[in-house]
Structure formats: C-alpha cells, structure tokens
Structure 1
Amino acid sequence: MWTIENRGRYDRSKLRYPSDLSDEEWAIVEPLIPAGKRGGGKRTVVLREVVNGLMYVLSTGCQWRAVPKDLPPRSTLFGYFDLWNWDGTLGRMHAELYVKCREAMGRQASPTAAIIDSQSVKSAEKGGLASTRAGMMRGKRSRARNGISLSIQ
C-alpha cells in the first residue's frame, strides 16, 4: 500500500534515470558480479554503469543503438550482457535477488504452491504449441470438395 513512508522508500527522482541502481541496490548486486579474468589488461569500464545500462535497456525496451550517450557504448553493454548470460551470472543474480525479495516479504525462499489453469493442461495434453496453432488457423477446403471444379476425361 502506498503510504508516506513507502513513497520515500521508492522515490527514484534523485537518480539520473529511474532504472539506475541506488547505492543500496548496488551493494546487493556488486558481490554477484564475477571478478575480471587473470591476465590481459585491467577493466576500463565501470561495472556499475554497465549494470545501469543493462537496466535501462530492460526497463525501457529500447534498441541497443538507442542507448543514451552518457551510458557505456552499446557494444560494451551487449558484450557484458552476452558474457553474463553465457556464464550464468544473470541467472545467479536473478536467483539471489528472488530469494532476497521473498525473504523480505516474510515468505519462504522457494514457493510451496503452484497454480495450473485447466486450459494449459488441455493444450499440453493435445500436443502443445503445434496443435494450438493448428486449432486457431482457418481450415482449408480441398479442391475435391469444391462443387465448381471440373473433371476432364
């Protein structure tokens, strides 16, 4: 429920973009990012800005080429997105944040119940996506059933 106390907690007006991480949020996310690989040059990019850039793309749904100039270049953002997706960093971040959110709400770390709607079960029994598509498409009539077609002998 929105109360005066909650409004202050969720106020993002002091951030550059509403999608940017606050200091509290960054303190939670930073330990989940793996250290740079040994050898080679040092990182020249600020990882917090990379995460802010990824959050901007995710929250606005903009194209990679439409990322604002004050965030890291789109090639850098996509490179980290691709790497973190490949090595499982994004999955680990999601799992960790999911558990923290549930615990903050006073719930168990993993859900104990699930809801399955009967329509989902029916379509899965019939064969899933392919049969759903076939059921939604318009039926085709064969030429043999068409009364106009002529037979030539």
Structure 2
Amino acid sequence: MKSKYIRLTNQQWQFMKKHLPIKTKGHYNLRDLADAILWILRIGSQWRNLPETFPKWQSVYYHFRKWGKDGTLIRLNSALNKLERLNQGKAETPSLLSIDSQSIKCSSFISKDKGIDGNKKINGRKRHIITDTLGLVWGVMVSPANYTDGSIGQAVLEPLLGYLDRLEKILGDQAYKIGFLDWVQENIIGLEVEISSCPPSEKGFVPLKWRWVTERTFGIFNFFRRFDKDYEKTPQSQEYWVLWQNCQIILNRFK
C-alpha cells in the first residue's frame, strides 16, 4: 500500500479512459475529475475543501454521483477486476465468491438510513460486500446496521448473476443461513451456498479458508480515510466509494 496519494500515471489513465464517458459537464479535463475523486477517497477531505489544483468541487461531486448512478463505475470496476484476475493467472470471472458485512459508525450529522447493530453495539450502517478469492469487490450494498445479513444478501448477489456465468459457490457465515440460503436454493439452480463459522471453542479472529480474504478487504479499507466512518448522507454514496476503493487498489498495481 502506497504511503500517500499519487496522481494517476499515464498507464493507469489509458486504461481508465476506455471506460469513462468522453463528454463531461463543463470544460474540465476528465483525468482531473477522476484524480480528484481518488484524492478525496484517500485523504478523506470534505468536498468543499478540495484543493484548487483540481476542478471545482461541485463538478467533481456531480461526476462522482453521475458515474455511480449510470453504471459507469460498475463497468470500470468489473473491467479492472477481470484484468487483475487475468494478471494473476485466473479466469476473467470467479467461480467462488465470499459474502460478509461490516458495521461502521456514522458521522454525527447523519440521521437517515442508519440503525443499531445489537451484536456489535454500533449505531450506524453496514457495508455488505461480495469478493472473490483475490479479495476483489464484485458487489456492494450499504444498509442500516440493524438489517440482518441474510435479508440483504439477495440484493447484493442478484445484480451479479447476469454476467458471472462461472459462479458455482458462495461462502458465508451463520448470518446467511436464514433468508439468503433459502432464497438461493429456491431461485438459482446449480449455485451452492456453504455456511461456515469459527468453532465455538476458538476466541478472537480465526481465518477460515477463502472467507478470510473478505476480512482482509475490510482491513484494507483502513488505509482510506474516507472509510474511518460513514460520512455519506446516502448509502449509495458509500457504495460508490467502496467500488472506487477497489478500483484504486488495482490501479496501484499497474507497472
């Protein structure tokens, strides 16, 4: 992990611009807009404190929201995931996924779409993610923290079924046994859900085969200050940041 944010290299940008719209609102350079988004992700700054070396914050925020809503960000994330898997000697799309959630506190001014996770004693939201065996994020949804994992699992997985044609198995913990497991068995032919958890006698973090990579992905979030809390007024913005984080991790591996 790089110790500070470094602006996009030519090689990184050559790949990104293939998946971003050519036209932008205003006269700003597309590369500068993408750079500004990644800067905020890493530094955790408020939008209004964006340095003057970048385009105006209103324009950067507009494109952040637009690319999230119109599917541009999802397409960029998917393309980077496929490229990274090929570079690691794997098929473009995974056959095995792992699903898990992370409860996080919300900033003090956030009042909507939040709840209390009674198990972890956290008042905020949950990040639900699906990763492959490399820890790459393929799907994400953010919900109030009081929502159960099993009830949200369907919404996280369903959008992926159209293009992950190799998918055979999903790993999850006991929280996905109620709701999610039954839904998969009733609606998706040939897809297996494997439920596993730490032995009751074990204490602390116990790595479980392949599921530990999802925990590692949550751990990597700590290197991005935008993730120390949920500062977003809408859950959708937090979802966009999770995908941008995954894109940034892969882009940093470009040589």
Q: Is the TM-score greater than 0.5? A: yes
The superposition leaves residues 31-90 of structure 1 with CA deviations (integer Å, 9 ceiling, x where unpaired) of: 1112228xxxx8511111000001111222222122112111110100111221121111
Hey, what's the Cα distance between the residues in 1 that align with 2:173 and 2:34?
A: 39
Query: 1:65: which partner in 2?
Result: 48
Q: Larger Rg: 1 or 2?
A: 1
Query: 2:21: which partner in 1?
Result: 34
The superposition leaves residues 92-115 of structure 1 with CA deviations (integer Å, 9 ceiling, x where unpaired) of: 111111111111111111111134
Indicate which of 48, 55, 79 corresponds to 2:62.
79
Indicate which of 33, 36, 47 corresponds to 2:30.
47
Change (3 A) 1:84 1:117: closer
- Larger helix proportion, structure 1 or 2? 1
Hey, what's the Cα distance between the residues in 2 that align with 1:96 and 1:23?
A: 18
Identity %, equivalent residues: 25
- In structure 2, stretches of 5+ residues that fail to align are 99-170, 181-255
- In structure 1, stretches of 5+ residues that fail to align are 1-9, 126-153
Amino acid of the structure 2 residue aligned with 1:58: L
Does the 8 Å CA contact 1:99/1:109 hold for their aligned counterparts?
A: yes
**Alpha carbon RMSD of aligned pairs, Å?**
2.8
- The structure 1 segments of at least 4 consecutive aligned residues displaced by more than 3 Å after TM superposition are 122-125
Hey, what's the Cα distance between the residues in 1 that align with 2:20 and 2:176?
A: 39
* Number of corresponding residues: 110
Instruction: Report SS of the residue matched to 1:114.
Output: strand
Instruction: Report SS of the residue matched to 1:109.
Output: coil
- Larger strand proportion, structure 1 or 2? 2
Q: With CA pairs under 8 Å and 6+ residues apart, which has the higher RCO, 1 or 2?
A: 2
Query: 1:132: which partner in 2?
Result: none
